[in-house]
């Protein structure tokens, strides 16, 4: 299974009403669609907001309306973080904020694709200087990390940062007594980061500083049924996403760690492909997740998204297809996780395209894998769970 985050989009008027996926040169993707069965799937139920947790659960075969919880709890599992009953986890992102006349603007939710090594330096500075309230910081992947705080469960909503680029943050800041400690931590973090030698060095070079943290991901802990009970198969996940790793571990799946995976366009794609092919030798199912196109979508990078899609085609799909060309015992499902607009810089609940190859239900008259598949009602799945059930049950 190949989960391609952010691959699909909506037509752009300035580009002859085409999407990045339609403009991109994707010979491998198109060849896979022509040889197999292609259609569309609705991964986001109407009752839930579009986000990665919902679509990941759906495409792992779990009902997101039943099993959606707090992102941070899954990520704590992904990072093997142990907590006391008095503690709760929160996602902790390093971000770039920009001053405006009456607010602060979210400039970059990835802090210019902050590296994991740099993030560890800043996390160490926070850990040494924030003592009240009691908090613990854990390195995740690049700008996206975890904070554990002594607190009662937080009932109010916390907005994640990835859809906030260009937005004034004041209206998204947590309010109320239950969030007082969080606001205090964020204020302390801004002062610590402002004075940190890492940021002073960036400032000396005229670069944006990593000037704040952003806390989100609160919600209940959820227990997922073991994958052996749900699918009756062994599953391994290859991903840079701490969230997806946590879900995999929570469901009894194996997680293959790969050096140099970032979730961005500079990720170690050869390493992920190599790990995927290696795990195929011992696992019934391998889930390979590639997220580079999502990040550029949420930053409004239309041309960058075209390049990310072409890199996905050439650096991921090309080597996989070449390695599996002579194999008759491997079937591939490739699907987008959910809609992601490079113009709006937001997620959406649009249908997303998928393909299965080889497939006994081949409808390979299509010449290109793109969003036009969403209009074919004859090969539409109303949920990710239904698609996964048919795929793993050899019904497609």
Residue 142: pLDDT band (50, 70, 90) is very high
- Among residues 279, 269, 288, 390, the alpha carbon closest in space to that of 337 is found at 288
pLDDT at 365: 61
Q: In this predicted model, what pLDDT tens digit does every residue of 285-321 receive, in sequence order?
A: 999 999 999 999 999 999 999 999 999 999 999 999 9
pLDDT at 364: 62
d(CA 366, CA 324): 22
pLDDT higher than 80, residue 362: no
CA 111 to chain centre: 16
d(CA 10, CA 342): 8
Annotate the chain with three-state secondary structure.
CEEECCCCCCCEHHHCCECHHHHCCCHHHHHHHHHCEEEEECCCCCCCCCCHHHHHHHHCCCCHHHHCCCHHHHHHHHCCCCCCCCEEEEEEEEEEEEECCCCEEEEECCCCCCCHHHHHHHHHHHHHHCCCCCEEEEEEECCEEEEEEECCCCCCCCCCCCCCCCCECHHHCCCCHHHHHHHHHHHHHHHHHHHCHHHHHHHHCCCCCCCEEEEECCCCCCCCCCHHHHCCCCEEEECCCHHHHHHHHHCCCEECCCCCCCCCCCCCHHHHHHHHHHHCCCCCEEEEEECHHHHHHHCCCHHHHHHHHHHHHHHHHHHHHHHHCCCCCCCEEEEECCEEECCCCEEECCCEEEEEECCCCCCCCCCCCCHHHHHCHHHEECCHHHHHHHHHCCCC
Q: In this predicted model, what pLDDT tens digit does every residue of 168-192 receive, in sequence order?
A: 999 999 999 999 999 999 999 999 9
Domain annotation for the chain: domains and CATH numbers: 2-68+223-392 (3.40.720.10), 81-216 (no CATH)
Q: In this predicted model, what pLDDT tens digit does every residue of 180-239 receive, in sequence order?
A: 999 999 999 999 999 999 999 999 999 999 999 999 999 999 999 999 999 999 999 999
Q: Give the gyration radius of the chain's Cα atoms.
A: 21
Q: In this predicted model, what pLDDT tens digit does every residue of 30-76 receive, in sequence order?
A: 999 999 999 999 999 999 999 999 999 999 999 999 999 999 999 99
What is the pLDDT of the chain when averaged over all its residues? Answer: 96
CB-based contact 265:296 (threshold 8 Å): yes
The phi, psi pair for 91, rounded to 5°, reads: -65, 135
Annotate 240-294 with three-state secondary structure.
CCHHHHHHHHHCCCEECCCCCCCCCCCCCHHHHHHHHHHHCCCCCEEEEEECHHH
Beta bridge partners of 215: 92
CB-based contact 99:164 (threshold 8 Å): no
pTM: 0.97
Angle between helices 116-129 and 197-204 (to 10 degrees): 130
């Amino acid at each position: 299974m190949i989960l391609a985050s952010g691959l699909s989009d909506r037509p752009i008027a300035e580009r002859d009403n085409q999407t990045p996926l339609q403009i991109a040169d994707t010979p491998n993707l198109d060849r896979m669609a022509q040889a197999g069965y292609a259609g569309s799937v609705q991964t986001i139920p109407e009752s839930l907001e579009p986000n990665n947790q919902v679509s990941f659960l759906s495409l792992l075969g779990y009902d997101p309306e039943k099993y959606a919880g707090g992102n941070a709890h899954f990520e704590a599992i992904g990072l093997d973080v142990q907590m006391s009953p008095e503690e709760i986890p929160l996602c902790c992102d390093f971000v770039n904020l920009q001053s405006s006349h009456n607010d602060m603007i979210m400039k970059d939710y990835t802090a210019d694709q902050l590296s994991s090594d740099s993030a560890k330096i800043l996390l160490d500075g926070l850990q040494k200087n924030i003592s009240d309230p009691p908090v613990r910081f854990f390195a995740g992947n690049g700008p996206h990390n975890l904070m554990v705080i002594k607190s009662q469960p937080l009932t109010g909503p916390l907005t994640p940062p990835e859809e906030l680029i260009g937005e004034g943050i004041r209206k998204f800041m947590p309010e109320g007594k239950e969030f007082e400690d969080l606001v205090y931590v964020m204020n302390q973090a801004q002062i610590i980061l402002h004075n940190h030698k890492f940021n002073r060095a960036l400032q000396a070079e005229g670069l944006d500083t990593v000037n704040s943290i952003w806390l989100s991901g609160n919600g209940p802990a959820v227990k997922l049924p073991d994958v052996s009970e749900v699918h009756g198969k062994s599953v391994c996940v290859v991903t840079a996403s701490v969230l997806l790793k946590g879900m995999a571990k929570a469901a009894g799946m194996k997680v293959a760690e790969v050096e140099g995976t970032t979730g961005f366009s500079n990720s170690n794609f050869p390493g992920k492909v190599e790990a995927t092919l290696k795990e195929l030798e011992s696992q019934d199912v391998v889930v390979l997740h590639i997220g580079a196109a999502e990040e550029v979508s949420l930053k409004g990078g239309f041309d960058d998204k075209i390049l990310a899609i072409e890199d996905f085609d050439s650096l991921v799909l090309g080597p996989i297809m070449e390695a599996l060309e002579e194999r008759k015992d491997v079937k591939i499902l490739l699907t987008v996780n959910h809609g992601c607009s490079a113009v709006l810089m937001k997620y959406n609940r649009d249908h997303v395209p998928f393909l299965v190859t080889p497939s006994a239900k081949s409808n390979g008259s299509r010449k290109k894998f793109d969003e036009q598949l969403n209009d074919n009602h004859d090969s539409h799945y109303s949920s990710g769970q239904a698609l996964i059930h048919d795929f793993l049950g050899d019904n497609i």
